[in-house]
């Protein structure tokens, strides 16, 4: 006979069910949705999630927690900054890519739900930027990315690697992405990104070629 789950185990089980339901329905799942889809009593779900937002927060945490663990592991490693930046991006990219390839429709549904609640998951994006800032500071301590403020370096790097970190982009251009291309982008960042004006900066609008 199976032992009954404790409160934490029951909550985790419901979160896992809500995450799978999100993959199916492509929208933020409510407590009523979860009760209807799983056949659970509403009182049971309300015990685990007294407030509606608590269910969403649990689902978001379940989705992002593996990525957070990867980021923390890389940031705490003794890898050199160049390799650390590559691992920081590549490990999350492979995690997302494999998820997409296992279940393309469900992954796209998660993307849709995430787009509808972008501001509610902003904290996870900010956390990734916090860890990236630590890598940038370490790199600048070794002479890379000269002449750039950390915020500016973050913004430019994020734009350069966006297609490897945004689930929507991975779903859109999966076959065009690769670890080798990402490695070249990271090498380019370390070999050339700086605050120096190399002549491309606009002076009075765009200039068409003669």
Domains of the chain by start residue, with CATH = 7-192 (1.10.357.10)
* 146: its two tokens: 């000269």
Using alpha carbons, select from 22, 13, 11 the residue that is nearest to residue 115: 22
Secondary structure class of 26 (helix, strand, coil): coil
- Write out pLDDT tens, residues 67-117: 999 999 999 999 999 999 999 999 999 999 999 999 999 999 998 888 888
Judged against a pLDDT cut of 90, whether residue 121 lies above it is answered with no
pLDDT of residue 1: 42
- Banded model confidence at residue 203, pLDDT cuts 50, 70, 90: low
Using alpha carbons, select from 137, 143, 148 the residue that is nearest to residue 85: 137
With b meaning 16 or more CB within 10 Å and e meaning fewer, what string describes 13-33?
ebbebbbbbbbeebebbebeb
Judged against a pLDDT cut of 90, whether residue 170 lies above it is answered with yes
Phi and psi (nearest 5°) for 83? -70, -35
Cβ(27)–Cβ(116) below 8 Å: yes
pLDDT of residue 7: 80
* 78: its two tokens: 């003794």
Judged against a pLDDT cut of 50, whether residue 33 lies above it is answered with yes
Residues present in the chain in total = 210
Judged against a pLDDT cut of 50, whether residue 162 lies above it is answered with yes
């Amino acid at each position: 006979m199976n032992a009954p789950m404790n409160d934490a185990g029951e909550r985790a089980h419901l979160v896992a069910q809500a995450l799978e339901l999100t993959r199916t329905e492509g929208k933020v799942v409510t407590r009523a949705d979860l009760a209807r889809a799983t056949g659970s009593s509403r009182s049971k779900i309300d015990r685990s999630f007294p407030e509606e937002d608590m269910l969403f927060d649990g689902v978001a945490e379940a989705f992002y927690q593996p990525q957070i663990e990867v980021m923390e592991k890389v940031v705490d490693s003794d890898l050199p900054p160049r390799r650390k930046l590559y691992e920081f991006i590549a490990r999350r990219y492979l995690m997302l890519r494999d998820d997409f390839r296992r279940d393309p429709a469900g992954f796209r549904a998660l993307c849709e739900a995430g787009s509808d609640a972008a501001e509610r998951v902003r904290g996870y994006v900010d956390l990734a930027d916090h860890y990236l800032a630590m890598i940038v500071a370490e790199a600048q301590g070794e002479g890379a990315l000269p002449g750039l403020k950390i915020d500016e370096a973050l913004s430019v790097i994020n734009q350069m690697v966006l297609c490897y970190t945004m689930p929507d982009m991975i779903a859109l251009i999966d076959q065009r992405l690769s670890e080798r291309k990402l490695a070249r982008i990271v090498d380019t960042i370390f070999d050339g990104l700086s605050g120096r004006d190399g002549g491309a900066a606009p002076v009075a609008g765009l200039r068409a070629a003669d």
